[in-house]
């Protein structure tokens, strides 16, 4: 993953492309899309030798297979690792692992926080929209498995965001700082 972030630094819009790549990795984790290999990402070549990341395609979830015990826990993992210690298994991945990956890639922390926050905020509505637009006859067990698991993983994000907010409040709730921040 770090190599791809590095490669995208040379794109025509590196911040956008790196953000989209990061968002894709978070989405793959939420959706249990286990086939997000580097070969599944493409770039548009533009005149003059530039390039941009293409939109995502061919994203499939393995959640329903895992839920039906058709996939072993050891195989239920992302294609690319996240975190300092290279986490692959979906069950062991936490939001902080995406932050660690982005830090290793030299991405701005605010960019990562914003991407995670936006995804967590928009996920419930996105799931509802997708579920409403599925064709008649789409297997309900697949739909429900993906939606339920994605929302459960989202809870890890919201818990991490709340914990981070609490840490900021604690930081400013010290005698030294509260005296400095007193407005009279």
The DSSP result for 24-82, as a single string, is HHHHHHHHT-TT--GGG--EEEETTTEEEEPPP------HHHHHTT-S-GGG-EEEEEE
- Distance CA(33)–CA(76), nearest Å, equals 9
pLDDT of residue 63: 98
pLDDT of residue 168: 45
Q: Which of 47, 67, 48, 32 is nearest to 141 (CA)?
A: 67
pLDDT of residue 166: 60
- Quick check: 49 pLDDT over 70? yes
Per the residue annotation, which of 35, 117, 121, 144 is the catalytic one?
35
Residues 99-115, mean pLDDT to the nearest whole number: 88
- Quick check: 114 pLDDT over 60? yes
- Quick check: 121 pLDDT over 80? yes
pTM of the model as a whole:
0.85
Contact in structure between 88 and 77 (CB atoms under 8 Å): yes
pLDDT digits (tens, 9 = 90+) for 136-180: 999 999 999 999 999 999 999 888 888 866 654 444 444 444 444
How many CA atoms does the CB half-sphere of 75 hold within 13 Å?
Answer: 9
pLDDT of residue 111: 82
pLDDT digits (tens, 9 = 90+) for 57-98: 889 999 999 999 999 999 999 999 999 999 999 999 999 999
- Looking at CATH, the fold of the domain delimited by 2-180 is given as 1.10.1070
Q: Which of 116, 106, 115 is nearest to 153 (CA)?
A: 116
Mean pLDDT (the chain) is 88
Q: Is 67 a catalytic residue?
A: no
pLDDT of residue 167: 53
């Amino acid at each position: 993953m770090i190599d791809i972030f590095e490669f995208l630094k040379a794109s025509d819009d590196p911040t956008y492309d790196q953000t989209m790549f990061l968002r894709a990795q978070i989405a793959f984790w939420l959706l249990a899309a286990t086939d997000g290999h580097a070969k599944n990402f493409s770039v548009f070549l533009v005149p003059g030798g530039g390039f941009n990341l293409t939109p995502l395609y061919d994203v499939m979830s393995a959640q329903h297979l895992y839920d039906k015990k058709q996939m072993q826990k050891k195989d239920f993992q992302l294609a690319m690792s996240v975190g300092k210690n290279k986490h692959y298994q979906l069950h062991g991945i936490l939001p902080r692992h995406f932050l660690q990956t982005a830090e290793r890639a030299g991405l701005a922390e605010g960019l990562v926080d914003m991407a995670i926050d936006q995804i967590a905020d928009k996920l419930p509505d996105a799931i509802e929209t997708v579920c409403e637009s599925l064709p008649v006859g789409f297997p309900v067990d697949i739909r429900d498995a993906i939606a339920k698991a994605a929302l459960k993983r989202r809870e890890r994000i919201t818990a991490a965001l709340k914990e981070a907010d609490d840490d900021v409040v604690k930081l400013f709730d010290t005698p030294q700082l509260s005296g400095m921040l007193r407005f009279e």
